[in-house]
Amino acid sequence: MIVELISVGTEILLGNIVNTNAAYLSEKCAVLGLSQFHQSAVGDNPKRLEDAIILALSRADILILSGGLGPTKDDLTKETAAKVMNKNLVQDIHTKERIQEYLQKVIPNHMVTENNWKQAMVPEGAIIIDNLNGTAPGIIMEDNGKRIILLPGPPNELIPMFQEDIVPYLNKLQPELIYSKMVKICGLGESYVETQIMDLIEEQTNPTVAPYAKTGEVHLRITAKARNEEDAMKLVAPVVTELKKRFQDAVFTTEERVTLEEAVVELLKERELTVTTVESCTGGLLAGKIINVAGVSDCYKEGYITYSNEAKKRLVNVSESTLAVAGAVSEECAKEMAIGGAQSANADVCIAITGIAGPDGGTQEKPVGLVYEACYYKGNVEVNKFLFKGNRDKIREQAVVKALTLLRKNIIENK
């Protein structure tokens, strides 16, 4: 089946907000096995929205619209979609009661205004989806084999509604169940990974393997269609096994929700290791990633942001001579940062980062993007040199991912 997405809202076209809903819905529809060839964003204009819906219905079986379901006059998604589907709007008593209950719960003593009841008007004969996190209900309209799904714009309302209610609905439309598994890889480039699985991609029918590149990571989604979940899992399992065989320790998880930092923290806890971080150009980004993991207090006690040379000397004992001769951005400095951090924190492991994130500060010998990372592990130190491309944010982001990868590598190799 073919699905098409329309994101509604002038604020999207003006760039006032980032359209994260489209990215989320695209990924989830792909997992469900739905084909998607077009998606669009339309401002709060009923004529243009009507034209977009008519065009989308001419080439797709399912149309998902997000946004424009609020109580104000410029929220016209529901009204426009109902017009295209020749549906009259009627008041839904259940939705009206839920809106009143929600508003009184969230805003005690709130005076419900007349425009709030606009959200209780729904297309006649539509399937109504309760919104547990807001007032705008989800709506499903069906007619002549075509389906329009209307979802609220706020991600904290759209995402749980889609996951809990729309996914089961869409699954029932499919003749076969869709099951997928994710294999996440770090430390290897996208081109290399694709080369190593080209035979699987070229020969694939069911299941299929699809690569997705992230900063410093490559994710491989294995998707199978079958009559039931058990049969689909049997199709996926040997492919996952083969991928783990090919990429070995570079595979850090086969669970979609597990992040690289979560996998690293789990390793630290399994080995009963303590860790600290020493950061210069990343200024605490690495520590923040690690500390975001629940339960990390078992292994992470303290960290150091040594942005200045003075801080490097005072906090982690980088020598004056190293800074004078090799400089703050050097293999020697990174090594001393890692050793000094481990000693200062009395930690088993220390990861250190020093570099030039830009946009200023680069030279011909040491250009912007040059980063040294060192990992101290119980007396041994490994130093890696990188030359990252991109703006300041991108360089710092890449540095953090590579640091987590280096940390994980040293833990695995020193069993």
Model confidence pLDDT, tens digit, residues 62-80: 999 999 999 998 899 999 9
When the candidates are 3.90.550.10, 3.55.40.20, 3.40.640.10, 3.40.980.10, the CATH number that belongs to 2-173 is 3.40.980.10
d(CA 203, CA 200): 5
d(CA 6, CA 63): 8
pLDDT at residue number 110: 64
**How confident is the model at residue 31, as a pLDDT?**
78
CA distance 270 to 266: 6
Task: Give the burial class of 86: count Cβ atoms within 10 A of its Cβ; 0-12 exposed, 13-18 middle, 19 or more buried.
Answer: exposed
Give me the sheet containing 370-377, strands edge to edge: 300-305, 275-279, 349-355, 370-377, 380-387
Q: 């929600």: which residue's tokens?
A: 102
Q: Which two tokens stand for residue 344?
A: 């200062």
Q: What is the mean pLDDT of each run of 10 residues along the chain (415 residues)?
A: 96 95 93 90 96 98 97 93 97 93 78 85 97 95 97 97 95 83 96 95 91 94 89 96 97 96 97 97 98 96 96 98 98 98 97 97 96 96 97 97 98 89
In residues, how long is the chain?
415
pLDDT of res. 228:
85
Fold for the domain defined by 177-253: Alpha-Beta Plaits (3.30.70)
Distance CA 2, CA 38 (A): 10
Query: Hey, where are the domains in the chain?
Result: 2-173, 177-253, 260-413
Residue-level pLDDT at 83: 97
Provide the whole-model pTM: 0.77
Q: Do domains 2-173 and 260-413 have the same CATH topology?
A: no
Is residue 123 within 8 Å of residue 89, measured between CB atoms?
A: yes
**pLDDT for 116:** 86
Q: Which residue type is seen at 66?
A: S
The fold of the 260-413 domain, in CATH, is: Maf protein (3.90.950)
| Tens of pLDDT, residues 89-126 | 999 999 999 998 888 887 776 677 788 899 999 999 99
